[in-house]
Amino acid sequence: MRRTQLLLDRAELERLGRLIGQAWDHYGAQVMLDGGKCALADLFIRTDSAAISATSSLVSLEFEGFVEEYSRLGITDGAMGETQARTHGNLYFHERGQRILDILIVRDTTTQTRAGEPSFELVSDDGLVFILDGSVLGICKSGAFMQDIIISPAASLDTLKLFDGSDQWEPDLEVHYQHSRQLIPLRDLLDHDASEPVSVGDPTDPPH
């Protein structure tokens, strides 16, 4: 079985880690749809003392037996497109002043079975959940092949409904898919060296 990972790297995890303990200010994007619930390709988050941007970029991979483009979540320093977002009124202050208590990484695993035999596994960091002292806010890619970022606010982690794009993988009589999702505390990944991902798109096992 061929295994491929699209995971946040150490530097990206550390950028997120620096936000813990800071006060949330606002989020925004250059292009925002659905009343601030959908950003196209990038989204920035600003606290009282820092800013990061979550990006969704396309990478070409061949683990399915043919070349296809898959989206990868990335984290950069700074507020990407903040001037444009401000000009177009795409800034959202609903959680302003709440302290960031923790950040969870949304890690999705998709396994394909062909004729009863596992053929590939894709493990991908597809989103983030910000645990604030008065609410939570999740952001998640709108699927393995899509660049949109869906924003999901909620009163608590129990009531949070993150976007689920698993139905974009289409089974047939021979091919089946299994999907699972983990919410991993950022601190666990930063404290555990074994969580270091392989390079984007590198299979850890050769295909059979």
Asked if the structure places residue 205 within a domain, the reply is no
Domain membership of residue 40 (yes or no) is yes
Q: What is the pLDDT of residues 131-189, one digit of tens each?
A: 999 999 999 998 888 889 999 999 999 999 998 888 887 778 888 989 999 999 999 99
Residue 127 lies in a domain: yes
Identify whether 51 is part of a domain. yes
Element (H, E) at 152: strand 148-154
Confirm if 43 and 130 have CB atoms less than 8 A apart. Answer: no
**Has residue 204 been placed in a domain?**
no
Does residue 161 belong to any structural domain of this protein? yes
Average pLDDT over residues 55-65: 82
Is the pTM higher than 0.85? The answer reads yes
Q: List, for residues 110-120, the tens digit of each pLDDT value.
A: 998 888 888 88
* Structure confidence at residue 193 (pLDDT): 55
Whether the predicted pLDDT of 127 surpasses 90: yes
Structural element, H or E, at residue 158: none
Contact assessment for residue 7 and residue 123, using Cβ atoms and an 8 Å cutoff: yes
Residues 6+ apart with CB under 8 A from 59: 6, 69, 70, 71, 72, 200, 201
Contact partners, residue 143, CB within 8 Å, separation at least 6:
71, 163, 165, 168
Contact between 189 and 10 (Cβ < 8 Å)? no
Write down the pLDDT at residue 172.
Answer: 83
How many Cβ atoms sit within 10 Å of the Cβ of residue 116? 7
DSSP 99: B
Q: What is the pLDDT of residues 12-42, one digit of tens each?
A: 999 999 999 999 999 999 999 988 899 988 9
Domain residue limits at 151: 2-195
Average pLDDT, stretch 61-75? 83
Q: Is residue 65 part of a domain?
A: yes
Round the CA-based radius of gyration of the chain to a whole number and report it: 17
Q: Number of structural domains, the chain?
A: 1
